[in-house]
Amino acid sequence: MAAATTPYDDRDGFIWYDGKLVPWRDAKVHVLTHALHYASSVFEGERSYAGKIFKLTEHTERLVKGADTMGFKIPFSVAQIEEACRETCRANGIVDGYVRPVAWRGSEMMGVSAQHNTIHLAVATWSWPAYFSPEFRNKGIRLTMAEWRRPAPDTAPAGTKAAGLYMICTLSKHSAENKGFHDALMLDYRGFIAEATGENVFLVIDGKLHTPLAECILNGITRQTVMGLARKRGIEVVERHIKPEEMANATELFLTGTAAEVTAVGSIDAYNFTVGNVTQTLRDDYERLVGKAPVAA
């Protein structure tokens, strides 16, 4: 992860902005941009491994679909967006790194209604190693329960990576970090386990892999990938409503996401877990699949 002393607005390199590469520091928006005030923005998080962006088409199609859900159309095709991602990686010399496409409403109209605002698209890429420190690979990170809950699917577009949905994630992660934890586990509006602040969650109970139904959460591409890897291993995957007290029955628990990849969890408040065989196997399978370089023990 980039050092905190390196601001994201003051770097060398290029950002793809509305159809062309521009110097990194010149990629700017106006203070009255609609997306800043009303969260009319969607984005993706992608990783490049050994020069290839993992599941680029799936991410790009989700970006376009998310924009449609938000009521605007990105003025570039899936193929054009994919090439923009690859072009930006090449321009910045990114072989192993992070890719961030983002689309948003511009500044022509300021108000809740902004039907005629220009839709912009940008792609940024940067080097970004482990999301959580590698020292926790074999002991797991520490989580606490979040105060905020994921909203019902009829109150927010839960299936999109829309900027506004991450407001409670930032609040929850900041609160967790201020208490000495790495992240927070969020419940949904009914009190069932939902997800962490930017990752899906899996529990190992009696040798089976349990994960929340994708109702109030983002059905992550890494989540879907790991579920497929588990089934190939003959591990039964159970998607269901999971009560928080069921964590007492789980021997292992891990998170999945583009940034987090497969991250073991050692504890969530009073619940403790081991970095067991299922977690290690699926983590290794995922890393082999994406072409990630072996991690030293």
27-48 confidence digits (pLDDT tens): 999 999 999 999 999 999 999 9
Tell me which H or E stretch contains 101: strand 97-105
- pLDDT-derived band at 138 (thresholds 50, 70, 90) equals confident
**One-letter identity of residue 248:** A
pLDDT tens readout for residues 181-190: 999 999 999 9
Averaged pLDDT for residues 251-265: 96
User: What is d(CA 227, CA 209) in angstroms, rounded to the nearest whole number?
Assistant: 8
Domain hosting residue 194, numbered range: 134-290
Confidence class for position 159, pLDDT limits 50, 70, 90: confident
> pLDDT by residue (tens digit) across 191-231?
999 999 999 999 999 999 999 999 999 999 999 999 999 99
Residues 224 and 97 in one domain: no
Query: What are the tens digits of pLDDT across the range 92-103?
Result: 999 999 999 999
Q: Say what percent of the chain tops pLDDT 90.
A: 91
In 3-state terms, what secondary structure has residue 258? coil
Last residue of a domain, one of 104, 126, 148: 126
Question: Does residue 40 lie in a domain region?
Answer: yes
Burial class from Cβ neighbours inside 10 Å (0-12, 13-18, 19+) for residue 202 reads buried
DSSP type of residue 134: G
Q: Is the pLDDT of residue 3 over 50?
A: no
pLDDT value of position 234:
97
Give the gyration radius of the chain's Cα atoms. 19
CB contact at 8 A, 202 and 209: yes
Quick check: 162 pLDDT over 50? yes
CA 202 to chain centre: 15
Cα separation, 6 vs 14, whole angstroms = 16
Active site residues: 161
Quick check: is 159 in a domain? yes
Which of 109, 126, 143 is the C-terminal boundary of a domain? 126
Within a domain: 2: no
For residues 8 and 135, the model is more confident at 8
pLDDT at res. 295:
64
Question: How many residues does this entry show for the chain?
Answer: 297
Q: What is the mean pLDDT of the chain?
A: 94
Block residue for tokens 């591409």: 221
Q: What is the domain-level CATH number for residue 59?
A: 3.30.470.10
Q: What are the distances in angstroms from CA 228 to CA 35, 44, 225, 264, 279?
A: 35, 21, 5, 18, 14
Domain count for the chain, please give it: 2
For residue 131, pLDDT beyond 80: no
Copy the structure tokens of residue 51. Answer: 């020069």
Closest CA to 40 of 100, 117, 153: 117
Q: Are residues 58 and 113 in the same domain?
A: yes
> Would 111 be classed as within a structural domain?
yes
Q: Which two tokens stand for residue 164?
A: 């506004």
What is the CATH number for 159? 3.20.10.10
SS3 assignment, position 270:
coil
Element (H, E) at 212: strand 208-212
- Give SS3 for 242: coil
User: Please, which residues have CB within 8 angstroms of residue 38's CB and are 6 or more apart in sequence?
Assistant: 105, 112, 114
**Confidence (pLDDT) at 108:** 95
| In a shared domain, residues 150 and 270 | yes
Burial class (CB in 10 A: 0-12, 13-18, 19+), 98: buried
**Residue 174 pLDDT exceeds 90:** yes
